[in-house]
Amino acid sequence: MEIKVIKTTVPAIKPVDESKLGFGSIFTDHMFVMDWDRTAGWHDARIVPFARLSIHPASTVLHYGAEIFEGLKAYRTVDGRICMFRPEENFKRMNNSALRMGLPTFDGDLALEALKRLVELDADWVPHGEGTSLYIRPFIIGTDEHLGVHAVEHAQFYIILSPSGSYYAGGLSPVKIMIESEDVRAVRGGTGEAKCGGNYAASVRAGERAEEKGFAQVLWLDGVERKFIEEVGAMNIMFKIAGKIVTPALTGSILPGITRKSILELLHHRGIEAEERRISVDELVAAMESGTLEEAWGCGTAAVVSPVGVLAYGDKEYVINNGRIGPTSQMLYDSLTAIQWGRESDEFGWVVPVK
């Protein structure tokens, strides 16, 4: 499919002070759009000036949450190229999300081609500062113009770009996390595996309550027994218990993170054992009480690795590794970012240049 390009005639003024970029509030000059309907399939792939959307008030996305999204980054490597990290994995996952949410699947190669062209066109928007990046947000919405509940007949695929600041502007410091035992994020058979909007709307309440108590995020338990560890807000979770790295197995309610997958592959490649299995909250509490929980860290695109310094359960707070980043978390952060930013050679073929 041909991708049409209509360039803006009124380019926006780019932010000068990269330390004030923040996250997700500034957008570039262009966006990618593609339409779908059940008879014609995907068509009219185009890069157009960034603009507000005009959609029918009855659109499926507005009423029944027909929405899926992805999140990845483009960034400047040390040799001056603009690269992305495993973008084909994002489109693969997005297609799985589409299948779960009754939205149309798409050609991942075409999406990647469109993404590269969009980033190339807005390349001047990729910030230069250490740790800064161009955050990439692909999403699909259902756009049927009537109120019946059904698999959509019409949809649109978008990609928007947002120059964003370094996640660790204040240094790689451990966060306080609270195990959530009231709300649940997802259940097996539900939508936890899909990156879909509704999952996040439903998680906001617990997040707010945690924040009021001074925690950065919640750690979710499984939705059936509230007994097994699942993941954090937009990160998967890993632990080092008595010298062994463990992470919850993907049992259907956990988002299969690309950072999680990359860390497991990296560890495997280095001959470091890591286990994917169910981890009960009781096991974790016992490990914290006996002092065998050596490290805990979240992993996801935004932070890469986010060490956990305090984990709270009920009215108890446990300090992990004296509240400092542990050697494994540090090693994983250093290794992944070294590959991403081109400071170390990429033996895995994970880094994809934009051109």
Ligand X SMILES: *Cc1c(COP(=O)(O)O)cnc(C)c1O
Instruction: Give the Cα separation of 62 and 67 in Å (integer).
Output: 9
Nearest approach, Cβ of residue 133 and ligand X (Å): 13
Q: Is 317 exposed, middle or buried (0-12, 13-18, 19+ CB in 10 A)?
A: middle
Residue number, 154 or 195, with CB nearest to ligand X: 195
- The reply to whether 248 sits near ligand X by the rule CB under 6 A is no
Nearest approach, Cβ of residue 284 and ligand X (Å): 18
Sign of CA dihedral 203, 204, 210, 215: positive
Instruction: Give the Cα separation of 133 and 199 in Å (integer).
Output: 25
Residue number, 60 or 301, with CB nearest to ligand X: 301
Residue number, 87 or 342, with CB nearest to ligand X: 87
Nearest approach, Cβ of residue 25 and ligand X (Å): 19
- The reply to whether 340 sits near ligand X by the rule CB under 6 A is no
Residue number, 11 or 71, with CB nearest to ligand X: 71
Residue number, 235 or 351, with CB nearest to ligand X: 235
Q: 95: left (phi > 0), else alpha (psi -120 to 50), else beta?
A: alpha
Sign of CA dihedral 160, 102, 58, 208: negative
DSSP 57: T
C-alpha of 293 from chain center: 26
Query: Cβ(328)–Cβ(295) under 8 Å?
Result: yes
How far CA 201 is from CA of 70, 251, 344, in Å, comes to 16, 22, 38
Residue number, 235 or 312, with CB nearest to ligand X: 235
Query: Cβ(302)–Cβ(71) under 8 Å?
Result: yes
- The reply to whether 94 sits near ligand X by the rule CB under 6 A is no
CB contact set of 292 (below 8 Å; sequence gap of 6+) = 241, 242
- The reply to whether 238 sits near ligand X by the rule CB under 6 A is no
- Binding range to ligand X, per CB under 6 A, among 16-24, 228-236, 320-328, 344-352: 228-236
- The reply to whether 263 sits near ligand X by the rule CB under 6 A is no
Binding mask 185-224 for ligand X (x = CB under 6 A): ----------x-----------------------------
Residue number, 199 or 321, with CB nearest to ligand X: 199
- Tell me which of 301, 306, 321, 328 binds ligand X, using CB under 6 A: 301
- The reply to whether 73 sits near ligand X by the rule CB under 6 A is no
Query: Cβ(295)–Cβ(319) under 8 Å?
Result: no
- Binding range to ligand X, per CB under 6 A, among 42-50, 59-67, 133-141, 230-238: 230-238
- The reply to whether 303 sits near ligand X by the rule CB under 6 A is no
- Looking at the chain, how many residues does it have? 355
- Tell me which of 253, 259, 321, 329 binds ligand X, using CB under 6 A: 259
Which residues on neighbouring strands pair with residue 343, listed in sequence order?
A: none
- The reply to whether 304 sits near ligand X by the rule CB under 6 A is no
CB contact set of 201 (below 8 Å; sequence gap of 6+) = 65
Nearest approach, Cβ of residue 191 and ligand X (Å): 11
Query: Cβ(59)–Cβ(202) under 8 Å?
Result: no
Instruction: Give the Cα separation of 125 and 12 in Å (integer).
Output: 10
- Tell me which of 142, 300, 309, 326 binds ligand X, using CB under 6 A: 300
- The reply to whether 294 sits near ligand X by the rule CB under 6 A is no
Instruction: State the Cα angle at 160 between 159 and 164, rounded to 5°.
Output: 135
Nearest approach, Cβ of residue 184 and ligand X (Å): 13
Instruction: Count residues binding ligand X (CB under 6 A).
Output: 13
- The reply to whether 138 sits near ligand X by the rule CB under 6 A is no
Residues that bind ligand X (CB under 6 A): 71, 195, 231, 234-236, 255, 257-260, 300-301
